[in-house]
A and B are shown apart, each in its own frame.
Chain A
Amino acid sequence: MSALGELWLVSLVLSAVAVLIMMGLVIARWIGVRRGRSREAERRRLIPLLLGIERSGGDYGQVEKAADLLADLATELIEMVRGEDKEAFIESATRLGVPERLQHRLDRGSPRVRLAAAEALGFFEDEKSIARLRGALDDPNPDVRLAAAISLASAGHAPPAVELVEKLGIGTRENSALVVGLFRDIAVKHPDEIRGLIESEQVNGRVKAAAIEALSASGDYSLVPLVANLVLAADPDAEELPRYLRALGDFGHPAAARAVHHALGSKLWWVRSAAAEAAGRIGLNDVAERLRTLLSDPVWWVRFRAAEALIRLGDEGRELLIATAESGSEPACSAARLTLAERGLV
């Protein structure tokens, strides 16, 4: 038979196989729907157990049968609340064997199942769960690795931050914004480790930026000179500069003045706009005149941030805006006038 004829055969076989698989899925769905009906009944039975209203007595075997549903419900319930109720739910879930089920899923499931299991296991602080989560730091799927790290950190059992950076490839392979949350969780127990990352020569700017953001709400002002020095020392087009500046704004401490002043003169608009924002949040009245000149910046974002910052600077800033609105040239005049109008300050 010729190659052309084979094409016909191949196409027939392929579509026949696809149709057969699809028919299998249809049957699976049909069975699934029938199971779903009994699922609702199961759910009704399990919720009182989880809420601790009924203690499971003789029908423990039945609970075992519904282990998967139970694990799902328990996880959702625990996520929903805080305080004593959370502790109580964790306790009843543990009694009903939920951690074992989750451990099993973390070992054997598809990436989706493993990910959810890694996230849920963080609620249970028994040794086995912690050990499994440690193991999951080497999972082939990056999302599962990160989730395991976050779970460990929120339970206060994370390995040292430097080790995690290495293991997960943070700042190189792993750039997720979730890393900031991870660092924040670690910092609850070990702020020194995260601070260590900011000071370390071994990690790159992205790791430092995430570490700084994680600590920027901490009110630890001894970090301000550290971050300010990073701004002054950074490569002028480093992508982390806006993140450093935003953190300086979060701290709101005037020790950042020199760094902010320096960044206001950057040739990159996103650095200028981040610096203008920081200046306003810190309340750096020394740079008011400088902000005024930025009202005629070619990029709108810079003009917008500068105008906002001047409003934040109080009377002095407002007077500068009013003066610009009355006698400045475009585009500064519009920037000032509209910003004042927007705040109802005209």
Chain B
Amino acid sequence: MNDWQSLAIDAASVVAWIVIVTGLAQTAFYVVQLVYAGIALAVRPPVARASLLWRRYASHTPPIAVLAPAYNEEVTIVESVTSLLALHYPDFEVIVINDGSKDGTLRQMIDSFGLAQVERFYDLSVQHNPIRGLYASPRIPRLLVVDKENGGKSDALNAGINVARSPLFCSIDADSLLESDALLRAVRPFVEEPTLTIAVGGTIRIANGSTIAAGRVLEVKLPRNFLALVQIVEYLRAFLMARLALSRMQVLTVISGAFGLFRRQLVVEVGGYSHGTVGEDMELVVKLHRHMRDRKLPYRVDFIPEPVCWTEAPDTWTILGRQRARWQRGALETFFKHRDMLFNPRYGRIGFVGFGQVLIVDVVGPIVEVLGYFLMPLLWAVGLLAVDYLFAFLAITFTFGIFVSVASLILEEVELRRFGSAHDLVVLMLISIVENFGYRQITNFWRLRGFWEFLRKKQGWGQMTRKGFKTS
């Protein structure tokens, strides 16, 4: 009896240690990220005034092609394109890819902008469904519309890449609301390190609650919906802390599909966006890392902390849950597709830190944490675990979580100051505390659902959630 009991206690503490060490590794990495993010902001501080950026960079910026995929957007397309054409950048073209819409998306554009079918000599290097026609107007020389057969977002972007003639392209979602100076801000690393920089991401913010007119966020205001509020804090943590820090370490493996700037030729060399994955934005960046490391070429994948793009976040539990499950599945698909890069010395810090980070945060993390929620209180309740373990677990899941969230908010307020008032800051601070009790746990369950879907190799997009880009 005694033997059995001590064995049980040993087993319980082993489980507890696994849970605690995994959580601690995550927390430790977050703290490191905070430090790196702080350094990044100090070394390359965000520029507040856009006219200053113009004066500084305008005569030295490379042309950019903005690639905007559109599927069944007839209501909003003219407004979105007008707002894209109003971007503040010296030299750019807007390429709208009508991905076989079933509604009048193409007709709306032709009528409103006075477009006519044109011929253009374009590349055929990356794969996509056939292009049916190209449309342009001499009165709007920056606009080109590509009409193609439906193939999904990756497919539409690939067509845009082939048609683009600029050295850089910027891929966006149909429902991305860009800041006027987004391109001017994001191009900065390409100006500062023209030979090394191959891709740049930027901060995505949540538009819910803000005043929006004609495809622009005019005034930043907080939403009243709890889920939208929590996501504001989550996005701050993901972009201002995690991605900024990872780029400072030069191990960034994701650039959001809502806004990313890429060197066109290199994306062509890796075959463009992959078909048949839900995480095509992450997968592209991983392919670029692999390509450059395989060729032993020096390069940089960078990130700028300034908000460049706003997106409408899901504000119901069901839709948010589906989105998170899909993100989780996307991360897993990319991770396992490129698993040979993990801890592979050939891929240097990408293999160790970049993929190691994905392993801890996206692969092992959610499983172990959910395991902890059940086992730790249970084992303590039946007397198999000392109370110290329970407190350590609470520290990892709750109090360190509060620290990391509030610290991200501090970074935002010190360096960017994009929120409207002291009142908003108080609300966000309270949310950063509250989200650790309940919301965080639920997101972990959603991630497990993503895990399950990944294992079952569930195909397709399921019920599509975004009001913007949809695919068949």
The answer to A–B direct touch (Cβ < 8 A) is yes
Residues in A lying within 8 Å of B, measured CB to CB: 2, 4-5, 7-8, 10-12, 14-15, 18-19, 21-23, 25-27, 29-30, 33, 76, 79, 110-112, 115-116, 119, 141, 143, 175-178, 180-181, 206, 239, 270, 300-301, 303-304, 307, 334-335, 338-339, 341-342
Shortest C-beta distance, A92 to chain B (Å), equals 20
Contacts of A303 in B (CB 8 A): 121
Shortest C-beta distance, B7 to chain A (Å), equals 21
CB-based contact B391/A4 at 8 Å? yes
Shortest C-beta distance, B144 to chain A (Å), equals 12
In the complex, 5 of the A-B residue pairs with CB atoms within 8 angstroms, ordered by the A residue number, are A19-B433, A25-B414, A29-B421, A175-B193, A342-B118
CB-based contact A11/B123 at 8 Å? no
CB-based contact A14/B403 at 8 Å? yes
Q: A8-B391, A338-B119, A338-B120 are in contact. Are A111 and B191 (CB under 8 A)?
A: no
Contacts of A112 in B (CB 8 A): 45-47
Contacts of A26 in B (CB 8 A): 422, 425-426, 429
Interface-centre pick from A11, A79, A301, A304 (highest chain B CB count, 10 A): A11
CA distance A11 to B394 in the complex (A): 9
Quick check: is B125 within 8 A (CB to CB) of the other chain?
A: yes
* Tally of A-B Cβ pairs under 8 angstroms: 138
CA distance A164 to B416 in the complex (A): 33
Shortest C-beta distance, B376 to chain A (Å), equals 12
Quick check: is B37 within 8 A (CB to CB) of the other chain?
A: no
Contacts of B217 in A (CB 8 A): none
Shortest C-beta distance, B32 to chain A (Å), equals 14
CB-based contact B118/A11 at 8 Å? no
Known: A26-B425, A304-B165. 15 other contacts (CB 8 A): A4-B388, A5-B388, A5-B392, A7-B395, A11-B400, A18-B402, A19-B429, A23-B429, A119-B52, A119-B55, A175-B195, A176-B194, A181-B59, A270-B265, A304-B121
The chain A residue with its CB closest to the CB of B119 is: A341
Interface set, chain B 406-442, CB cutoff 8 A to A: 406-407, 409-410, 413-414, 417, 421-422, 425-426, 429, 433
Q: A33-B422, A175-B193 are in contact. Are A15 and B399 (CB under 8 A)?
A: yes
Contacts of A76 in B (CB 8 A): 49, 51
Contacts of B55 in A (CB 8 A): 79, 119
Contacts of A79 in B (CB 8 A): 51, 55
Interface set, chain B 106-147, CB cutoff 8 A to A: 118-125
Contacts of B407 in A (CB 8 A): 18
CA distance A254 to B165 in the complex (A): 27
Quick check: is B56 within 8 A (CB to CB) of the other chain?
A: yes
Quick check: is B44 within 8 A (CB to CB) of the other chain?
A: yes
Quick check: is B1 within 8 A (CB to CB) of the other chain?
A: no
Contacts of B410 in A (CB 8 A): 18, 21-22, 25
Which of B20, B52, B195, B429 has a CB less than 8 Å from the CB of A22? B429
Shortest C-beta distance, A300 to chain B (Å), equals 4
CA distance A304 to B124 in the complex (A): 12
Which of A175, A304, A342 has a CB less than 8 Å from the CB of B194? A175
Residues in B lying within 8 Å of A, measured CB to CB: 20, 24, 42-47, 49, 51-52, 55-57, 59-61, 118-125, 165, 191-196, 265, 388-389, 391-392, 394-396, 398-400, 402-403, 406-407, 409-410, 413-414, 417, 421-422, 425-426, 429, 433
CB-based contact B388/A14 at 8 Å? no
Contacts of A119 in B (CB 8 A): 52, 55-56
The chain A residue with its CB closest to the CB of B196 is: A175
CB-based contact B421/A342 at 8 Å? no
CB-based contact A8/B399 at 8 Å? yes
CA distance A46 to B450 in the complex (A): 59
CA distance A180 to B58 in the complex (A): 13
CA distance A59 to B426 in the complex (A): 40
CA distance A341 to B419 in the complex (A): 51
CA distance A307 to B120 in the complex (A): 12
Which of A25, A141, A301, A307 has a CB less than 8 Å from the CB of B43? A141
CA distance A115 to B417 in the complex (A): 19
Contacts of B398 in A (CB 8 A): 11
Which of B45, B57, B121, B192 has a CB less than 8 Å from the CB of A335? B121
Which of B194, B265, B426 has a CB less than 8 Å from the CB of A177? B194
CA distance A112 to B44 in the complex (A): 8
Which of B118, B121, B193, B413 has a CB less than 8 Å from the CB of A339? B121
CB-based contact A180/B60 at 8 Å? yes
Contacts of B51 in A (CB 8 A): 76, 79
Shortest C-beta distance, B429 to chain A (Å), equals 5
Contacts of B388 in A (CB 8 A): 2, 4-5, 8
Shortest C-beta distance, B28 to chain A (Å), equals 11
Which of B20, B409, B425 has a CB less than 8 Å from the CB of A4? B20
Interface-centre pick from A15, A26, A303 (highest chain B CB count, 10 A): A15
Contacts of A21 in B (CB 8 A): 406, 410
The chain B residue with its CB closest to the CB of A334 is: B121
Shortest C-beta distance, A208 to chain B (Å), equals 14
Which of A12, A18, A176 has a CB less than 8 Å from the CB of B191? A176
CB-based contact A111/B121 at 8 Å? no
Contacts of A5 in B (CB 8 A): 388, 391-392
CB-based contact B389/A4 at 8 Å? yes
CB-based contact A22/B392 at 8 Å? no
CA distance A303 to B407 in the complex (A): 53
Which of B52, B395, B409 has a CB less than 8 Å from the CB of A10? B395
Which of B47, B49, B121, B399 has a CB less than 8 Å from the CB of A11? B399
Contacts of B421 in A (CB 8 A): 29, 33
Q: A14-B400, A176-B191, A334-B121 are in contact. Are A25 and B392 (CB under 8 A)?
A: no
Contacts of B409 in A (CB 8 A): 22
Which of B60, B195, B395, B402 has a CB less than 8 Å from the CB of A178? B60
Contacts of B20 in A (CB 8 A): 4
Contacts of B118 in A (CB 8 A): 342
Contacts of A177 in B (CB 8 A): 60-61, 191-192, 194
CA distance A141 to B39 in the complex (A): 13
CA distance A291 to B227 in the complex (A): 60
Shortest C-beta distance, B401 to chain A (Å), equals 8
CB-based contact A29/B47 at 8 Å? no
CB-based contact A178/B391 at 8 Å? no
CB-based contact B395/A11 at 8 Å? yes
The chain B residue with its CB closest to the CB of A206 is: B195
CB-based contact A111/B42 at 8 Å? yes
Contacts of B417 in A (CB 8 A): 29
